[in-house]
């Protein structure tokens, strides 16, 4: 790349995960001149980056794949919840089937984008010095593109290996005989801990908040067997937009206390036995919305979980007697023997909450808590991501007023309309971003649901010979109110988590996601489109 050559396109798509791949396929089919750029050197998005031992999706098949029959007819998964390597193989298969490679450029980091109001074009620059001029800037950077590592003193002094799990070496490190630490017990931390407990000489897990993880109930398939028969797939894919969470789950049509205790216990047992997210998303409809219902679910979870743990002191940290926070209001993880690892002699748990011994600093030898220094050879820092907005804000995006997206969102948090675009940033759309159904439905579901809306909007612009589409300030402000209203109807804002932006020091405390459910979201965005893109200014 010589830095002077300017490539002109209809659209530049950023990010080769589900969102970017779907848009490349759809837009090319519609005759647009598009290109997909990605900073990694292959497809997969989060699955390209997350190769740590045990990395696995917790959406069950077929709710974690594209709905295109040309793909699923000839693809067979090995497991109900596929691992990261199998997901990368899937992406490779998709890239071949859809012939994506000729329009994809890897190892390309988009560093800035500036809107030119005279030309109605974005000028986009990459780190390597390439320049693109495009009508549409389509961001599919994912919700977990920006890692978060707390700014502990001494990280650079540690003599062993210190890494964030999304930078796991492609060549598997040998941890036999090693003293290993895992900091953080989100979905990532528990998946890694489960695996490393099998190989490490000693594994120490540093937990600040307990993870109310549910049994995954993995199933291994002998091809061509799959969980659902393939003829049912079209209906299952269709059904995603009828489900609150964009899967096949729906809440029970009755509240927790509509059932007598005996009946309720039976219902809980059934949901528990199903595995997957049933106990979270197919339970009584009031579980995420009222405290008493939530506590009832917690007590069931707690007792089931404690029964797996031998040491009562350890059990009290992993599944406290008193409910520590609203069940299901931090991302629920699916575990495979996670709680049982603490019965092994080579695994220990450190409580780093304010009740326990918080981490003070990283030292040459390991991790110093308020109690003592723990020595390690290997520290896995599974402390998560500047989720949802982080990936978007790390690109220097400037609209016509010269204000950057980061600045636009820094004062009072994310501002979007429909979780698809932001005022002051014309012809720019994103998927799986703030105020969308992100994390309510999963990557592929959102990629299609939001991606199709974006493609339709671009087609509409073309048909009407329009140059510019941008959310209005008013619609953005109203939408933000709606986001809060929906969140406040639930227990979500009572808990600190990346859903509320509170995992990152200094980040605005606000609901990162739309909590009205997928069907309402789908209806809302389609209504805007059907009425000529209400809430957007078109010119
Ligand atoms: P998460 O879910 O954000 O988890 C991060 C974990 O790291 C969590 O247990 C945090 O404890 C812990 N953490 C973060 N900062 C600190 C500090 N300063 N000290 C101690 N512990 C800390 O990230 P994941 O990568 O596991 O999962 C991200 C998403 O990927 C997940 O939700 C799925 O959607 C897939 P805390 O709970 O904040 O007390």
The per-residue pLDDT for range 304-339, each reduced to its tens digit, is: 999 999 999 999 999 999 999 999 999 999 999 999
With a 6 Å cutoff on the Cβ, whether 208 touches ligand 1 is yes
The CA-based angle 393-125-468, given to 5 degrees, is 75
Q: For a substitution probing ligand 1, which of 46, 324, 503, 513 has the most ligand atoms within 8 Å of its CB? A: 503
The pTM for the full model equals: 0.97
Residues in the chain: 539
With a 6 Å cutoff on the Cβ, whether 188 touches ligand 1 is yes
208: CA distance to ligand 1 center in Å? 9
With a 6 Å cutoff on the Cβ, whether 186 touches ligand 1 is yes
With a 6 Å cutoff on the Cβ, whether 329 touches ligand 1 is no
With a 6 Å cutoff on the Cβ, whether 498 touches ligand 1 is yes
Residue 104 backbone dihedrals phi, psi, to 5 degrees: -120, 140
Q: How confident is residue 248, by pLDDT bands cut at 50, 70 and 90?
A: confident
183: CA distance to ligand 1 center in Å? 9
- Show Cβ contacts of residue 96 under 8 Å, excluding neighbours closer than 6 positions: none
Report d(CA 189, CA 226) in Å as an integer. Answer: 29
The CA-based angle 125-151-361, given to 5 degrees, is 155
Report d(CA 226, CA 76) in Å as an integer. Answer: 7
> What ipTM did this prediction achieve?
0.99
Cβ neighbours, 10 Å, residue 69: 12
Interhelix angle 18-29/84-97, nearest 10 degrees: 10
Q: What pLDDT, on the 0 to 100 scale, is given for residue 1?
A: 45
| Mean per-residue pLDDT, 425-454 | 96
276: CA distance to ligand 1 center in Å? 20
- Here the tokens at position 534 are 């209400």
With a 6 Å cutoff on the Cβ, whether 148 touches ligand 1 is no
The per-residue pLDDT for range 139-198, each reduced to its tens digit, is: 999 999 999 999 999 999 999 999 999 999 988 899 999 999 999 999 999 999 999 999
Question: Residue 358 above 90 pLDDT?
Answer: yes
The per-residue pLDDT for range 254-305, each reduced to its tens digit, is: 999 999 999 999 999 999 999 999 999 999 999 999 999 999 999 999 999 9
DSSP class of 385: B
With a 6 Å cutoff on the Cβ, whether 55 touches ligand 1 is no
Q: For a substitution probing ligand 1, which of 45, 186, 445 has the most ligand atoms within 8 Å of its CB? A: 186
């Amino acid at each position: 790349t010589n830095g002077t050559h300017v490539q002109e396109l209809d659209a530049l798509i950023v990010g080769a995960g589900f969102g970017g791949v779907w848009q490349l396929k759809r837009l090319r089919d519609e005759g647009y001149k598009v290109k997909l750029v990605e900073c990694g050197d292959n497809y997969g998005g989060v699955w390209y980056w997350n190769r740590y031992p045990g990395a696995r999706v917790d959406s069950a098949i077929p709710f974690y794949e594209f709905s295109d029959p040309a793909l699923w007819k000839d693809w067979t998964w090995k497991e109900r919840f596929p691992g990261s390597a199998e997901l990368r193989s899937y992406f490779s298969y998709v890239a071949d089937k859809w012939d994506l490679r000729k329009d994809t450029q890897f190892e390309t980091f988009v560093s800035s984008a500036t809107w030119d109001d005279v030309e109605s074009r974005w000028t986009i620059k990459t780190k390597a010095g390439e320049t693109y001029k495009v009508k549409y800037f389509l961001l599919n950077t994912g919700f977990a593109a920006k890692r978060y590592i707390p700014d502990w003193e001494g990280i650079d002094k540690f003599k062993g290996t210190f890494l964030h799990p999304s930078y796991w070496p492609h060549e598997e490190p040998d941890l036999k005989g090693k003293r290993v630490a895992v900091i953080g017990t989100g979905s990532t931390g528990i998946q890694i801990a489960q695996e490393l407990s099998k190989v490490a000489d000693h594994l120490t897990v540093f937990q600040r908040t307990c993870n109310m993880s549910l049994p995954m109930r993995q199933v291994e398939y002998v091809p061509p067997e799959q969980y659902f028969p393939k003829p049912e797939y079209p209906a299952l894919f269709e059904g995603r937009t009828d489900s609150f969470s964009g899967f096949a789950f729906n809440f029970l049509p009755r509240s927790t206390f509509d059932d007598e205790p005996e009946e309720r216990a039976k219902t809980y047992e059934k949901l528990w036995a199903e595995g997957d997210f049933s106990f979270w998303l197919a339970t009584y409809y009031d579980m995420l919305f009222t405290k008493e219902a939530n506590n009832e679910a917690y007590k069931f979870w707690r007792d089931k979980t404690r029964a797996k743990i031998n040491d009562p002191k350890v059990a009290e940290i992993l599944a406290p007697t008193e409910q520590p926070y609203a069940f299901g209001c931090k991302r629920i993880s699916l575990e495979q023997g996670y709680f049982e690892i603490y019965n092994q002699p080579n695994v220990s748990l450190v409580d780093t909450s304010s009740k326990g011994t918080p981490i003070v600093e990283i030292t040459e030898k390991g991790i110093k808590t308020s109690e003592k220094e723990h020595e390690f050879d290997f520290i896995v820092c599974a402390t998560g991501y500047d989720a949802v907005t982080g990936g978007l804000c790390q690109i220097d995006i400037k609209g016509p007023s010269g204000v950057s997206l980061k600045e636009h969102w820094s004062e009072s948090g994310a501002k979007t309309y429909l979780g698809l675009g932001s005022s002051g940033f014309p012809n720019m759309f994103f998927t799986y971003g703030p105020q969308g159904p992100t994390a309510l439905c999963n990557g592929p579901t959102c990629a299609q649901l939001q991606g199709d809306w974006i493609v339709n909007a671009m087609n509409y612009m073309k048909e009407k010979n329009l140059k510019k589409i941008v959310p209005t300030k008013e619609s953005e402000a109203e939408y933000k109110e709606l986001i809060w209203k929906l969140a406040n109807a639930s227990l979500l804002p009572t808990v600190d988590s990346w859903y509320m932006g509170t995992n990152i020091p200094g980040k605005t405390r606000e609901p990162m996601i739309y909590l009205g459910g997928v069907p309402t979201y789908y209806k809302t965005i389609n209504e805007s489109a059907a009425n000529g893109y209400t809430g957007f200014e078109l010119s």
